Structure 1
């Protein structure tokens, strides 16, 4: 992706300046919509907007998505010199010529070659920023496509001069026939110097300095503003102060992160629409009509009054769970990802959103509304179903029950289902219902998903881990744990397990182990909490769920549509068909009691979210597996690609010498590595900072301690190119960390070969 040109300080100063300005209402608007089009550098745009520059990388495929969205909006987009796509590919993706943002390279021939490639690709302009490299957000670049004979770069600054000055502007002007814009012009003297260098435009980074600079050039070159633009009213204000156009960077970045190309298109459409609204308000029919009259400027705000003295809360007075490391794990990972945005991340275990289309949401909603009408609901009843709270247990239980029968051979009545806010709420409800006192215990297959241990911690529930073996959890080990807890005077209530492609280890429980687990649970009178979100996003036919084979009502099935249908909807469910007898002898279902608890937690699950999921299920005839066939193939390819890259970079002899092993899941999102050093948070920081690759320490997933030498890799959210480069970076990190010697690691290759090779830490 392109790099950002205006630093955060400049943007903040411009935001303060925009807030001091306002718009004056003009006279009656002329008939028809305002004309937002402009002509800049000989080309007509739909609005006085240039898309970007943006920080990189925002998301997989983001570079091309922004260029295409900008072109569709009839706006130019700024492409960085370190783009991962070729200029020819980016230029051919849009009818509106992109602009090149370049730098002062130490090798002057590189500047010339870059501009020549941009010219050949039909670019419309070239930008060069004066000053130092403080604004360069992109430090590493994975094989920039347009630099001559360059592979992946660990620090792009090594190719650049520390500062760009007027000599660089003069040299660039001589090297290209493209229109040249000088970025970072601060005053009238800079603007006149840019004109003397033959610049076709200047980019001003201060809104307060803009009117004086525009007046000094007197129309002899184009004047653009960079930094702080968030709304259409800001665009009108900048034009009124003398700008011919403005750069839109941060709003576009937010749109890209939220919705890919569609998100960028939505942001650009909103900016142009808001500009038209501002023009209507001020009575200006065309952009050329915008003058200083519509803008009023207020005084600078007074320094704020000192805040009142606040007595801080003491953490010791809060629930002990807020100090538990398990609740910090996701926060820490998010912090690392934000701190090193250029790193390739194997951490997020979420679906690849290239399979989701924003327009599908409306199709799914309409399908469900039609279903309600087909079932005989009146318009009033349909409206109530969508706008009101709805039943606590859920609106779409019948549809989910039909889907479970069609896809999973789970035949349960709809009354045994409670629709939840993701599977996470389902865990909380089940634990709250089952665990009644300090002697009740939750058993978990370890390593295990942090959500279940986090929920247990919030509820002060004791957790006993049952460590997995090479092929997953052993029923013999589970039975030993049950007997041991009872010998201590405690009551094991339930056992939590992810039977299919588990998070984090990636293991899958075999058919015999499933049968043994069901028999053991019935014999010992404990419940199995089956959580299996990765079954229907994995290639090949899955093994039967535990619930589909449950004849003794020992399995509580936790379900989620976050990995399959619609992650943002946050819709999950729990199948709890266990009979519950009260003191009077009346029998109900465990689901009824879970609904009572839910009524005090979230009241109900969003009706709108349920409708979107239900419409999807109806359209697929309940067959989530068929709906996800393409996604399953993609995730399977991603897993196999990761395993191939590991085997290529670490062949058998090399991995044995290093003491590295990994398992080979056939599906799901995760695999695990065992390494000969402590794979803790400190190592993760070194990996992100020095090698540009992020992963998850396995220590997060061991409630009883352990996993110090384990790394979890998530393969679901990465492209093949990112997997290839990411594994190469990971291997360089592992080799470097291993070479640091005994002080940096506490297991040798010999020690590792003598230990068990449980998949939780890599095989």
Structure 2
């Protein structure tokens, strides 16, 4: 038998080469490539002490916990009356798109954050990044729809918006949160240009990248401003359990269902599980008749529809592990994270103490080095007298053995050029002390 070769490529046919100009513009967007550069430089200088990653401290992890937690969740299902067949299906098969631990997540929110929402308003996601993607996709319908961000802003949000071709406009932040006057002006200017401002993204507790937290009065003022402006708030809260002082979330103060709450177990449990969630208890009207009574339903249900086309469902085994952790903590994670919270606060204090030694108050006007004082979380902001760009970072890694994150990564414009983000979360006491010594030497070198 002779096989047809009519469709075979010629033996010397060149390999396919794609022109970047034919791909989506996001693949070459600075928003996406900056974090790639940071990963590359970390691998290039593995011995450098790194204040760059926002990762939890690995000393709190034990590999033996994983099988123990899965077994604990299986025991929970048995105790709840599930049959062996149902348990097998729950762990091995595709699961409910909106998540199988929604009741446990809703319970955690009541215990830890005084947020009382029905489980039906929760969608369990593949990390918080998927939650961001789902919400942006659902809210923004037309090219004139705009998302606002408190600037500087976590790049995961601006990057997701870039992928979806959603315009993002920055609103300046202050030492106590969003500049409300600037917010009012921005919304008025965009509305006058025919734009529809859909939502404002904020991180009120120990913000990434600045470390800033909003006080209660500022939170209440932001909610009032959002009500006047007919604006949804996207509240992201990965660091609230690690704050030195417990503050009410925007969602717990929300009486109008104007806050969509984004959460993650990456910091409070462990990032390898890749489990996050979104609380979307807003009513949606005008749906197809089969979507709910009188064509009404929850925004969460609409987000689940989108999720079904992206990840289908969040991995069941990952949900089992997180579910078991929630069950072990009487429904919450705040008490289970008390040791971690103290560790991060101690490391934050150690960074500040080291900076105080290297740059005493009397010398700071001359050195032009200063920093803020977050009361928790993972990050603080350091002002320096030189351009803290990729070139400076490469010099810092190569010649001084210390890594950090340029704050310009988190700005949409050219702000933050002379600022550095320092993370306290991933290092030991010894590494912090030596890292600050190296960092100070680098600053002095680049300042001359």
Tell me the TM-score range normalised by the shorter chain: over 0.9
Cα offsets for 1:64-123 (capped at 9, x unmatched):
xxxxxxxxxxxxxxxxxxxxxxxxxxxxxxxxxxxxxxxxxxxxxxxxxxxxxxxxxxxx
Change (3 A) 1:307 1:738: farther
Residue 631 of structure 1: aligned partner = 340
Q: Pick one of 375, 384, 389 that aligns with 2:80.
A: 375
Residue 564 of structure 1: aligned partner = 268
Q: How does 1:91-130 map to 2 (within 5 A)?
A: none
Q: Within 1, Cα distance between the matches of 2:166 and 2:212? A: 26
Residue 8 of structure 2: aligned partner = none
Residue 77 of structure 1: aligned partner = none
Tell me which structure has the larger Cα radius of gyration.
1
Residue 415 of structure 1: aligned partner = 120
Pairwise CA distance, 1:307: 8.6
Contact 2:263 2:277 in 1 (8 A): yes
Contact 1:403 1:624 in 2 (8 A): yes
Q: How does 1:279-678 map to 2 (within 5 A)?
A: 309-539=14-244, 541-582=245-286, 585-678=294-387
Cα offsets for 1:446-493 (capped at 9, x unmatched):
001000000000000000000112333222221111111111111110
Residue 4 of structure 2: aligned partner = none
Q: Which has the higher contact order (CA 8 A, sep 6+)?
A: 2
Q: Within 2, Cα distance between the matches of 1:509 and 1:488? A: 31
Residue 407 of structure 2: aligned partner = 698
Gaps of 5+ in 2: 1-10
Secondary structure of residue in 1 paired with 2:184: helix
Secondary structure of residue in 1 paired with 2:16: coil
Q: Within 2, Cα distance between the matches of 1:308 and 1:380? A: 53
Q: Within 2, Cα distance between the matches of 1:686 and 1:669? A: 24
Q: Within 2, Cα distance between the matches of 1:416 and 1:642? A: 40
Q: Within 1, Cα distance between the matches of 2:222 and 2:96? A: 35
Contact 1:693 1:729 in 2 (8 A): yes
Contact 1:538 1:635 in 2 (8 A): no
Residue 688 of structure 1: aligned partner = 397
Q: Within 1, Cα distance between the matches of 2:74 and 2:173? A: 46
Contact 2:281 2:299 in 1 (8 A): yes
* TM-score between the two structures when normalised by the length of structure 1: 0.56
Contact 2:56 2:270 in 1 (8 A): no
Pairwise CA distance, 1:311: 2.6
Q: Pick one of 415, 439, 442 that aligns with 1:730.
A: 439
* TM-score between the two structures when normalised by the length of structure 2: 0.95
Residue 708 of structure 1: aligned partner = 417
Pairwise CA distance, 1:601: 0.3
Q: Which moved more, 1:370-379 or 1:457-466?
A: 370-379
Secondary structure of residue in 1 paired with 2:147: strand
Runs of 4 or more off by more than 4 Å in structure 1?
Answer: none
Q: Within 2, Cα distance between the matches of 1:419 and 1:538? A: 24
Secondary structure of residue in 1 paired with 2:334: helix
Question: How many residues end up aligned between the 2 structures?
Answer: 433
Residue 55 of structure 1: aligned partner = none
Cα offsets for 1:106-158 (capped at 9, x unmatched):
xxxxxxxxxxxxxxxxxxxxxxxxxxxxxxxxxxxxxxxxxxxxxxxxxxxxx
Pairwise CA distance, 1:738: 0.7
Q: Within 2, Cα distance between the matches of 1:631 and 1:734? A: 30
Contact 2:107 2:332 in 1 (8 A): no
Q: Pick one of 718, 730, 752 that aligns with 2:427.
A: 718
Secondary structure of residue in 1 paired with 2:422: strand
Cα offsets for 1:281-336 (capped at 9, x unmatched):
xxxxxxxxxxxxxxxxxxxxxxxxx9962130010000001110110122111111
Pairwise CA distance, 1:533: 0.2
Q: Within 2, Cα distance between the matches of 1:646 and 1:471? A: 23
Pairwise CA distance, 1:373: 1.1
Contact 2:176 2:218 in 1 (8 A): no
Secondary structure of residue in 2 paired with 1:489: coil
Secondary structure of residue in 2 paired with 1:419: strand
Q: How does 1:185-334 map to 2 (within 5 A)?
A: 309-334=14-39
Pairwise CA distance, 1:733: 0.6
Residue 3 of structure 2: aligned partner = none
Pairwise CA distance, 1:704: 2.9
Secondary structure of residue in 1 paired with 2:205: coil
Q: Within 1, Cα distance between the matches of 2:361 and 2:308? A: 55
Secondary structure of residue in 2 paired with 1:468: strand
Q: Within 2, Cα distance between the matches of 1:311 and 1:533? A: 42
Q: How does 1:45-194 map to 2 (within 5 A)?
A: none
